[in-house]
Amino acid sequence: MALTDDIQLLAQVPLFQGFTDDQLRLIAFGAEKRKIAEGQALFREHSPAECAFVIARGSFDLWSGERDGKATIKATTGNGTMLSELALFTLCERKFTAIAKEDSEVIRITRILFHRMVEEFPDVADVVFSRIKGNIAALASGAVAMQGRFI
């Protein structure tokens, strides 16, 4: 994938929508590409998350452990999906294990790179804050809607 292809891919990631080409170029140029073979783990549940990944090609099954100790597939994701978005903002742990369903390629974006981009383009912080605020509001609304199921 060429740098311009990476920029086009990043522009479609919800967190980065509305970013300028210069902002996306900084991320794409500083990010690392990784090839992941079919069946290989990109990362494991509960491991420290110091970066996010954008799936550039291929797909991943997202596995999560259950209370009985068995792991089950919670979702399958593909091109343009960002995994572990929260890691761009703060230290956290992985909420699932990501296993490649096929030979795949990802773009690795570190927290340091993302913070550097925000420092160089302070207006991005406002855009990102708005998106996070909207995501939290939607999550809270969904939790309220499910409240009756747990009483």
Structural domains counted in the chain: 1
Q: Is the pLDDT of residue 132 over 80?
A: no
Distance between CA 139 and CA 36 in Å, rounded? 31
Instruction: Identify the domain containing residue 117 by its residue range.
Output: 3-150
Residue 73 binned pLDDT confidence (cut-offs 50, 70, 90): very high
- 103-128 pLDDT per residue, tens: 999 999 999 999 998 888 888 888 88
Question: For residue 50, what pLDDT is reported?
Answer: 94
Cα dist from 145 to 131, 135, 141, whole Å:
21, 15, 6
Q: Is the pLDDT of residue 67 over 90?
A: no
Distance between CA 123 and CA 130 in Å, rounded? 11
Residues 6+ apart with CB under 8 A from 60: 36, 42, 76, 77, 78, 83, 98, 99, 100, 101, 104
Question: For residue 150, what pLDDT is reported?
Answer: 59
CB atoms within 10 A of CB 14: 12
Name the residue with higher pLDDT: 130 or 35: 35
Residue 18 sits in a domain whose CATH number is 2.60.120.10
The mean pLDDT of 73-102, rounded to a whole number, is 95
* High-pLDDT (> 70) share of the chain, %: 97
Give this prediction's pTM.
Answer: 0.86
Distance between CA 110 and CA 21 in Å, rounded? 19
Q: Is the pLDDT of residue 142 over 90?
A: no
- 31-63 pLDDT per residue, tens: 999 999 999 999 999 999 999 999 999 999 999
The mean pLDDT of 19-23, rounded to a whole number, is 92
Residue with structure tokens 């479609």?
Answer: 12
Amino acid letter, residue 73 = I
Question: For residue 135, what pLDDT is reported?
Answer: 75
Q: Percentage helix, strand, coil, to 5, in the chain? A: 40, 30, 25
